[in-house]
Copies of this chain bind each other. A is one copy, B any other.
Amino acid sequence: MNISDIAKKIPASPIRELVPYADIAKKNGVHVYHLNIGDPDIQTPIEMIEVLKNWHKNPIGYAHSQGTAELLESMLWYYKKLGFAQLATENIQITFGGSEGLMWIFMSVCNPGDEIVVFEPFYTNYNSYAIMTHAKLVPILTTIENGFHLPSVEEIERKITPKTRAILICNPGNPNGVVYTKDEMDMLVSLAKKHNIFLISDEVYREFVYGDSLAISALSYTNEYRDGIIVCDSLSKRYSLCGIRIGTIVSFNKELMSACLRYAQARLSAGMVDQTVSASLTKVPDSYFAQVQVEYKNRRDTLIAGLKTIPGVVCPVPEGAFYIIVKLPVDDSFAFAKFMLSEFSDENETVMVAPAAGFYSTPGLGKDEIRIAYVLNTKALDRSAQILKKALVAYNAKNAKS
């Protein structure tokens, strides 16, 4: 039986493809520090857990396809607090996490073969959404040496062709921790406007910024480029709620929002329980975020301090999100990550990381890099850096022998 080209081409997640090795390590009694995936250990706000404990709706029926009225109101409340009072219910579509939203956006802006410009390294699943929707990602390289900030406008413009339909950014950035400056955002918006293409801004890490300046949402530009701005959002990271699959698409483009509602109708509704839990975001106190931010800044600093003690390791200081791309003194970071799970342990502990090649679409790039998600507490991160250091020695010693 033949399966389709998509079915053959869709990549395994570089974040998850090592999971079977981690499972075996765990079965053998080895403790695995999971730095491979952005699944935080921070507590979900108690106000949200209470929604489950106090559940009374029965039967648990479908919700409106756009989203429950209650959740749409809560999202408006949230965006208004950020300064985006211009939004109305019609500008928001509830999705199954950011993933479904990005799929629909790709599907809505690209005909098969149309192009989306994206800055490399990028969130690995963008590759999958592009394959599933027959869109073509056109990568523009950003470098670890430049802290993954944008290249010049000329360099970006060289990649814009008649087939380009959008520029896609992730800000704050997964996997690179970059937070774009106002100059960078201004440049992207005017570039998109000049070429009459969409600016798609994935802002699921909006609250995770560690510098003096806040991340600038693309929603700040809807006055000057009303139909061209599309924001993809998710509650997963913000409320440490990855298992509750709720995201949003936000745009003033009426045709786009109408299409999204029709996609939504085709899958009936997002989860009723997940939406009800999410709607309680209005009850989460500001102190929750303040604590979370302090915690992540400490984690970042702890991890960086640990990594700096390892010879041959190169890493920028991430400005936002909770990821860092780290260059290692190894030939093949996939082999090294697999080695840590299947051939190495230190005092019965090891570390799981994501090989970075999967975050590039240009073949050959990122082969000596890993992505670390600093989603564990500082003690675990400190210990993880020590393990990494010892594992590097063991791995390179083994390779030198063979």
- CB distance A267 to B7 under 8 Å? no
Quote the shortest CB–CB distance from A160 to chain B (angstroms): 15
Q: Is A228 an interface residue (CB 8 A)?
A: yes
Q: Is A90 an interface residue (CB 8 A)?
A: no
Quote the shortest CB–CB distance from A6 to chain B (angstroms): 5
Per-residue CB proximity of A213-253 to B under 8 Å, as 1/0?
Answer: 00000000000000110000000000011111100000001
A60 partner, pick from B60, B96, B109, B244, beta carbons under 8 A: B244
If A132-B266, A245-B96 touch, whether A253 touches B62 (CB-CB below 8 Å) is no
- By a CB distance below 8 angstroms, the chain B residues around A62 are 37, 39, 242-243
- CB distance B39 to A49 under 8 Å? no
- We find that the number of chain A residues with CB closer than 8 angstroms to chain B is 85
Q: Which A residues lie at the B interface, using CB under 8 A?
A: 1-8, 10-13, 15-17, 19, 37, 39-44, 46, 48-49, 52-55, 57-65, 96-97, 99-100, 103, 107-112, 114, 125, 128-129, 132, 134, 165, 196, 198, 227-228, 240-245, 253, 255-256, 259, 261-263, 265-274, 277
List 21 contacting pairs A-B, 8 Å CB cutoff, sorted by A: A1-B198, A1-B227, A3-B256, A4-B110, A4-B111, A4-B114, A6-B259, A7-B108, A17-B265, A39-B62, A40-B59, A53-B55, A62-B242, A99-B266, A99-B267, A125-B267, A134-B134, A243-B273, A245-B269, A271-B273, A273-B274
